[in-house]
Amino acid sequence: MLIRRLCKHGSLIAGLMLLVLLLGTSYVNTHFFKEDIGKISQEDYYNKKPLPPSWEHPFGTSTGGMDMFDATLGQTMTTLKFALVVTGGRMLISLVLGLLYGLLYRRLKWLDVFIEGFHFVPTTLLAFLLLYNMRLMDFNLFMGDPDFRWTMTTWILIGVGIPSLSQLVGKETFLVMQQEFIQGARVLGGRHLHIHVKHVLPSVRGKFLLMASGQMIAVLTLMMHVSILGFYIPGWTAFIGSNYYELMLSPWIVFFPVLLLTTMIVSLTLITNGIRSLLDGGYLRRRSSILSGGTGMQRPSSKGISY
């Protein structure tokens, strides 16, 4: 039943197929066709100039003779893993804070005044200022210890998205708490923990999945912006950030990483639209809630709430 419903949403299927094609191409090329040229020597770096795309090098080569087709596809999983870590951290922390915020919304509503400010400050600027201050505080530690640098970079990229996302989760939770079936559960004697686990969480999970796919797109975009500003994030964004000055001289060095990054963002956008369409269809089938945990048609007067 679920597979049939998914097949009806072409956007979701197209997005998944595009993402699988991208990841599959990267895996096959990296494990079976990639040429291992070893570490580029300083002499090669200065003597071998970038070559434009050709039959031998479809994506061209970078300074030092590195094939951009192999190099770009080889960074697919690195890019995806970093984005997943940042997105997962944001979603997990925001889920906990958002649920608490939604449950105590009447008391914490005054926090909206401060959180709204994050909607007007670009996350790129906020992340850049935090990373720049970290580098100013201890340049040798930040730049000399890769583990410390990547840990702090990851937490900063996670942190800049938490306030707005927690507020969104909180408001969704608050709206769910005002629904009639929640009030009915309370009247029938449902305890707070039972209501939260059996009714609130299932009602929010669909929107949470939609938020996660949207956050993935936002994180990939933020990674590219931060890399261009000088804080190179592993993966495609490092190619873009460290070679953006080549746009006027050897544009293919930047073009193909941007192309693959755009392809991934397009696939995630299609998946997001498919999930939204799926949830909207669920709303038409289930009158009680757009994100109800049940399946199939539910008639409000046919069954009571069981505990």
The pTM (predicted TM-score) of the whole model is 0.76
Predicted local distance difference test score (pLDDT) of residue 172: 79
The alpha carbon of 49 is separated from its chain's Cα centroid by a whole number of angstroms, namely: 36
What's residue 82's pLDDT? 92
Q: In order of start, what are the domains of the chain with their CATH numbers?
A: 70-285 (1.10.3720.10)
SS (H, E, C) the chain: CHHHHHHCCHHHHHHHHHHHHHHHHHHHHHHHHCCCCCCCCHHHHHHCCCCCCCCCCCCCECCCCCEHHHHHHHCHHHHHHHHHHHHHHHHHHHHHHHHHHHHCHHHHHHHHHHHHHHHCCCHHHHHHHHHHHHHHHCHHHHHHCHHHHHHHHHHHHHHCCHHHHHHHHHHHHHHHHCCHHHHHHHHCCCCHHHHHHHHHHHHHHHHHHHHHHHHHHHHHHHHHHHHHCCCCCCCHHHHHHHHHHHHHCCCHHHHHHHHHHHHHHHHHHHHHHHHHHHHHHHHHHCCCCCCCCCCCCCCCCCCCCCC
Contacts of 38 (CB under 8 A, 6+ apart): none
**What pLDDT, in 10s, does the model give residues 24-43?**
888 888 777 666 555 565 55
Q: What is the pLDDT of residue 3?
A: 55
Burial of 269 (0-12, 13-18, 19+ CB in 10 A): middle
Low-confidence ranges of the chain (pLDDT < 70): 1-9, 33-47, 138-139, 141-143, 178-206, 279-307
Closest CA to 158 of 120, 138, 130, 196: 130
Extract the tokens encoding 254: 């930047």
Q: What is the pLDDT of residue 106?
A: 77
Spatial separation of the C-alpha atoms in residues 119 and 161, rounded to whole Å: 10
Give the pLDDT score at 54.
Answer: 81
Contacts of 306 (CB under 8 A, 6+ apart): none
Determine the Cα–Cα distance for residues 195 and 184; give it in Å rounded to an integer: 10
Task: Say how far apart CA 291 and CA 203 lie, in whole Å.
Answer: 5
How far is 287 from 299, CA to CA, in rounded Å?
Answer: 8
pLDDT confidence of residue 295: 41
| Res 219: pLDDT | 92
d(CA 219, CA 31): 27
